[in-house]
Amino acid sequence: MSMTLLAIWITALLTTILLTLWIDWKTRLLGLFVLFGSLTYLAAKAEHYRRQLTSLHRLQNAYDQLDRQAKLIIRTDIELHRTQEELDRRLSSLLSLHQLGRQLRVSLRPEEIFSKLDAATVTNFGFSKSLLGLCPSLNDLEWCTCLGVTPETSANIRTYLIEKHLLKNILTNPAPTFLDISSTTHPLQRQLLELLGVPTAVIAGVVPHAGPLGCLLLGRTHRGLIQPRADEELVAILTNQLAIAVENSALYEETWLSQRKLEHKVQERTHELAAANTALVRLNKAKSDFVSAVSHELRTPLAAIKGYASLLNSGQYGALAKPQQERLAKIEKHADLLTKLINNLLDIARIESGRITMQRQWIPVEEFLTTIHEVIQPQLEAKHLHYDTDIDGITQILGDSQQLQRVFVNLLSNAIKYTPERGHIRMRWQRDLEQKCLRAAITDTGCGIPPEDLPKLFQEFYRANDPVNQQIRGTGLGLVLAKRIIEAHNGQIGVESHPGKGSTFLVTLPME
Ligand code: ADP
């Protein structure tokens, strides 16, 4: 293209020269036009080339910039790649830590816990050699795990750590220490790295709250990307996990042992209680049988005593002097009391042994209360006592009429006995729809019962030890019999009392 232009330009120049020399002015004018045209064309071309050159320069600059940016991108990419690799390594370390933690949680003994550090976990942590051991003392060490290390090397390292007091140092300052052969100036550390055959390593102590427990040494055969802090952090977490696992195992063992002990004791006590219960049942039966037999045997001679006493008293065998009559009356009275006592004893024994069962049926309340009132009326009148009942609309009660009469006559007789003249006695019945039962309360304004006597009140032959009580005759069996009868009805009996103010005996009877 440039050669053609040059030829045109030369031709135009030659033509102009020739025209200037030989041709007329018209042709010269034409030649001049051609010449100027050619020059203008050439100038335009020159401008065009200059512009192209400028664009070329710009292009060159842009290309250089692009090149620089591409290099930067590649450098950043390499950096990112490295960081990514490091992150991956740390992530897999953390995952391994997590898995190890889970395995440690189910381990029970320190030896078992220390043996859980396997080759895969060590590799995931980015290390190639590992030594983990238990320290019975600050100067003793037993390796539990040796990975990537020959038995000879591990034995040498053990001796070295003990002899150079490095072990003691680690156990008293358990925080992980990063060792690097290219930067450490400590001769002991250098030698330790040489013994392990690695350029970098981390050493740390395992120290739970109870005291120094073990030592961990992790080595890396390739230098790779050195991250001392990251390694130290990782090992710190690992040794912490080991320490916590050991603490938990100790706690678990303690709890397990005390639980076993407790279970053993409970079993022992249960056996003892079962044996005691069997013996008690046997004894109770023997007691009931004995009481029953003795009572039976006593009843016949007692009836004879009573019979002969009344025969003598009737004057059939001759008139008796007044003092004799009085003594015979006393014999009769005591015989009656003894008969009552024996009858009560017999009944208690019979109910306990199940020989007397409760004939439960619906009893009309009014009728029931009238019968009781008839029995206690003379005693009430004798002491001028006020007696009233409140049945709260209750029409019938469920139970053995005869046995329940004995209970309420007994409770009311007691109330009469222990209430001074002109006192008040009240019997109140209430319905408890929720519990499906009836509650009866017999309240008096008598002497009351001291609080220390209340728990013993329903025991055989128990009588409160106060002066008022001593003057009143009694057997100490009435309340026992009442309790047996109420319990045979699946009911309950209890007492509330305020000494000097009065007592309330409470009876609960189920209504179904
Ligand atoms: P006792 O034949 O002695 O009355 P109980 O078994 O009926 O036998 O009563 C036992 C003891 O309970 C009595 O000796 C008395 O001390 C005390 N007691 C029973 N009821 C009353 C009451 N209403 N007020 C005060 N003390 C009572």
| Domain-wise residue ranges, the chain | 2-82, 94-250, 359-510
Q: How far is the CA of 449 from the centre of ligand 1 (A)?
A: 8
Say if ligand 1 is within 6 A of residue 493 CB: no
Which residue puts its alpha carbon closest to atom 14 of ligand 1?
A: 463
Give Cβ neighbours of residue 272 (< 8 Å, ≥ 6 apart): none
- Say how far apart CA 214 and CA 207 lie, in whole Å: 7
Q: How far is the CA of 476 from the centre of ligand 1 (A)?
A: 7
Give Cβ neighbours of residue 131 (< 8 Å, ≥ 6 apart): 143, 145, 146, 147, 149, 154, 157, 196, 215, 216, 217
Contact 461, 476 (CB under 8 A): yes
pLDDT at 22: 64
Ligand 1 atom having least distance to the Cα of 446: 24
pLDDT at 11: 72
Torsion of CA 336, 341, 347, 349, to 10 degrees: -150
Nearest to 360 by CA among 402, 410, 394, 392: 402
Which residue puts its alpha carbon closest to atom 2 of ligand 1?
A: 474
Q: For a pocket test of ligand 1, which of 340, 412, 463 has the largest count of ligand atoms closer than 8 A to its C-beta?
A: 463
pLDDT at 209: 87
**Ordered per-residue pLDDT tens for the chain, 512 residues:** 556 667 667 776 776 676 667 667 777 777 778 778 878 888 888 889 999 999 999 999 999 999 999 999 999 999 899 888 878 877 887 887 788 777 777 666 777 788 878 888 888 888 999 999 999 999 999 999 899 999 999 999 999 999 999 999 999 999 999 999 888 778 888 999 999 999 999 999 999 888 898 999 999 988 766 778 888 988 998 898 888 888 888 888 888 899 999 999 999 999 999 999 999 988 888 887 888 888 888 888 888 888 888 888 888 888 888 898 889 888 988 888 888 888 888 888 888 888 888 999 999 999 999 999 999 999 999 999 999 999 999 999 999 999 999 999 999 999 999 999 999 999 999 999 898 999 999 999 999 998 988 989 898 888 777 766 667 777 788 999 999 999 999 999 999 999 999 999 999 999 98
Hey, which residues does 179 pair with through a beta bridge? 201
Whether domain 359-510 has CATH 3.40.50.300: the reply is: no
pLDDT at 23: 65
Q: For a pocket test of ligand 1, which of 340, 449, 504 has the largest count of ligand atoms closer than 8 A to its C-beta?
A: 449
Q: Would the CA dihedral through 17, 21, 23, 29 be positive or negative?
A: positive
Helix axes 151-163 and 187-196, enclosed angle (nearest 10):
170
Which residue puts its alpha carbon closest to atom 4 of ligand 1?
A: 474
Contact 216, 240 (CB under 8 A): no
Give Cβ neighbours of residue 498 (< 8 Å, ≥ 6 apart): 448
Q: How far is the CA of 390 from the centre of ligand 1 (A)?
A: 23
Contact 452, 469 (CB under 8 A): no
Torsion of CA 289, 292, 297, 301, to 10 degrees: 160
Helical segments of 427-474, H only = 467-471
Ligand 1 atom having least distance to the Cα of 463: 14
CATH class given for the domain over 94-250: alpha beta
Which residue puts its alpha carbon closest to atom 11 of ligand 1?
A: 463
Nearest to 237 by CA among 202, 269, 285: 202
Q: For a pocket test of ligand 1, which of 379, 409, 479 has the largest count of ligand atoms closer than 8 A to its C-beta?
A: 479
Say if ligand 1 is within 6 A of residue 414 CB: yes
Say if ligand 1 is within 6 A of residue 126 CB: no
Say if ligand 1 is within 6 A of residue 199 CB: no
Residue showing tokens 């002899």: 163
Q: How far is the CA of 461 from the centre of ligand 1 (A)?
A: 10
Please give the model's pTM, rounded to 2 decimal places.
Answer: 0.52
Say if ligand 1 is within 6 A of residue 365 CB: no
